[in-house]
Amino acid sequence: MKSTLKIDKSKRVGALDRRIYGSFIEHLGRAVYNGIYEPTHKSADDKGFRGDVLSLINELNVPIVRYPGGNFVSGYNWEDGIGDKSKRPRKLDLAWFTIETNEVGIDEFQEWAKRANTDIMMAVNLGTRGADSARELIEYCNGETDTYFANLRRKNGFDKPFGIKLWCLGNEMDGWWQICHKTAEEYAREATETAKVLKWIDPSIELVACGSSDHNMPTYGEWERTVLDHTYDYIDYLSLHCYYGNYNGTADFLARAEDMDRFIKEIADICDEVKAKKNSDKAINLSFDEWNVWYRTKDEEKSAEKWQIAPHLLEEKYTFEDALLVGCMLSTLQNNCDRVKIACLAQLVNVIAPIMTENGGDAWKQTIFYPYMYASLYGNGEVLSVNASSDFYKSKEGWDIPYLCTSVVDNKEKGELVIFATNRSLDEDMELEISLDGYEDYSLVKHIELYNDDLDATNERHSERVFPTERAIDAGSSVKLKKHSWNMLILKK
């Protein structure tokens, strides 16, 4: 199979915000306890954080992490996770039917974030609580005044503010499963008033309002219009969430990145529709703050024993096939960088995650770790609008799906042109012809390939079957992409 990729230096999508390589840690399953935090582990540091996990997270170079939820946040009292640990209450978590010990809260998480070299995307509870709790939380985190909650932070040992600059106004409030689920009108009013008080206290922050939990929600579209109609003047981003699974065979599964692309463009259009209605000069951009492959362990909490502490929940075992789709979705996010400024691979450790741990034992990389890592490390700069041509196949919806899924990033700082390319064909290798306009003095210097003959291959604790290899560079303008493979090509001057 032959495909072509025409790259023109003058045709650009826009500058890429590094926050699209963000992730997510929720108080769910073993994400926090026995994930990032395990004081008895041999690698634990002075605060109880697992050093082996921190090392793997630092390999990913994660720019921002959403916290503390997720569904969990809609029933969370943030005050339970500050101050003297011996006085913190154990509580029932109605989101996941577990017991929350509150050993880790914002006091600990902000310290973990520093050690992970990342920033925090803080979510506030707009389920059981609202603007009053949110204003107290931001004063605690960011306040510099001689007032109660800022002084409470100082009393707890943190003289300097945490300086959290990105805040989420609740989580998936359109979902019936959410604690204190709201109608669009109810949520929009609460979000508007919360946004106002948060920005009154700290005008430097950015705010994310809840969009639809999924584009198959019955209120999809109208939810966005109602929420934006109320919150437009106060927020900066609207959220999108979507997870994909293999329900119709591998070919259709790999086509789900095109569904993600349509979702993004539909929401961007709605944002622009409201902008025009309001005659506003302000553009609302997008925060795709939950995305991943997730289907094998969906609804697992419903059959699990209730009221455990840090049970094994939603621990998806990722295959090579999953890594291919994650690679395609990363390209989709890059190609929409003009509107998607933030994205969070959900989640980071143990729970539908690229990193897995054993309680008291090892930590290891799942298959999806690799496309995520390479995108984060090398996909920085300006995304180019390219002309890609390849054969195609039909998805279950009847869409034309090109076998070649690609994105191209111009990293001027490093003098690199980085091509991410997935061959979605299950049967044929691809000869990719690369044409350069404005980059004639560039040549291919590195080809990283992620490939396995077995689409169901997984990485286990002591057996890594899916890992990247560096291919030899051939002379000429074409590159061979193996059947069902993910690739990163680096061209330099």
Place of tokens 């069902």: 484
d(CA 111, CA 116): 9
For residue 144, give every residue at least 6 positions away whose Cβ sits within 8 Å of its Cβ, in sequence order, or none. 150, 161
Which tokens in the block code for residue 175?
A: 């979902």
| CA proximity to 332, closest of 286, 397, 299, 369 | 286
Element (H, E) at 166: strand 166-169
d(CA 152, CA 364): 39
Transcribe 200-253 into DSSP letters.
Answer: HH-TT-EEEE---SSTTSTTTTHHHHHHHHHHTTT-SEEEEEEEE--SS-HHHH
Place of tokens 């044929």: 428
Taking CA atoms, 106 is separated from 71, 103, 156, in Å, by: 17, 10, 11
Transcribe 96-113 into DSSP letters.
Answer: TTEEE--SSSHHHHHHHH
* Angle, vertex CA 339, rays to CA 334 and CA 344, nearest 5: 60
Contact 306, 260 (CB under 8 A): no
CB atoms within 10 A of CB 56: 21
119-124 and 166-169: which strand pairing? Answer: parallel
Residues noted as catalytic? 172, 290
Place of tokens 């990145």: 257
Dihedral sign (CA 223, 225, 231, 237): positive
Contact 115, 48 (CB under 8 A): no
End-to-end CA gap in the chain: 29
Cα-only R_g, the chain: 22
